[in-house]
Structure 1
Amino acid sequence: MKLVKKARFTREEMAEYLSRLSQMIANGILEFETGPEKIEELVSFVLEVKRKKGSLELELSFKSKIPDEKEGKIEGKLERYANKKKSASKRYRPYRAKLLKKTLAAVWKEFKRSSTNGEIVDSDLMDQLRGLLAQYDEFVEAEWKEQWVACKNAVEKALNAAKTQDNDAIKASVSQVDDLIKACHKAYK
């Protein structure tokens, strides 16, 4: 199937059209005159901006595979991939887990910096840290769950110590968390 769409719009009309298109992409089904087309969760995207002799050209394009009709959803493919990777020597971690882990590490680093320097830690930062820990629970594997719970408890101790501004307790808890992280990474990476 090939469809070429050419039209002339006002800025507002163009913005509305692009908004509808972006909503279709978010929903995973593109609806055009030729009928609906399903797209996968992951897409390749290209944005190209050119300035040529008094005009500005903006070109958007994206590419998506058509979802596997047998599975109906991309989750089936991801599950097969996960099972294949788990049996391999290198451990499989979903992209969302990796992203969450990086965010968690950055927020922990910010908490550590603030709390160990004797600064008052922002309550939003502490809430964000608790939320990220709760989100990461779904990615915890049975073989290192015990270490995860110990680390999570140590982080909670550090957060409670930060509320009361008990610097000695903060430093002890932060040190305990860092030791647990190092030991876990050494054992399971």
Structure 2
Amino acid sequence: MERRSCWPLILCLIVAMIMGLLGYMHFNRELLNKLTNEIEFVEAAERETKHSIENYNLAAENTQKEMNNAEKEVKELQDEVGKLTSSKEEKDKEVKACKDSVTVLNDDVTAVEKEKSDTDGNFAGEKTKWSEEMNGLKQKLQESSPVCAHAKITPKDIEKDPTLKDLCPQIQHGTKEDLPH
């Protein structure tokens, strides 16, 4: 009997062990599922990270290319600015020379205008003086001179010296009858 009574106990122990093994297997399966899900999540995160890194690398390459192109453009623009600066300096020198030339010409023009103004003033004064003197001389010519009144000038004398007529305008040409015989 004793052997029979052990069998249920062994059977219970075997069932308990099987149940324990089944629980352990279920626990391990749940753990395995959980780990599989975590692995899939990590793999998805890794794929997304790889994708992000690839995008970042492409963006970095594009940015580097753009920076290289920008540096080339900056160098070209700096070269062009250098050329334009030297050209500008030459033009500035030319402008300064022109301004200096204009200043000299303006000084010359001012001097010439002053000289002309002085000359015009002197000319006006001289002209007035000469006009007064000419008017005085004309007036004297028109006045009858006492010498001309006593002078006996014949038409032959006037023919010989026509200036006599200018000196004594009041002398009239006489006719042949007035001439002495």
TM-score (ref. length: structure 2): 0.22
Structure with more strand by fraction:
1
Structure with more helix by fraction:
2
TM-score (ref. length: structure 1): 0.21
Q: Is the radius of gyration larger for structure 1 or structure 2?
A: 2
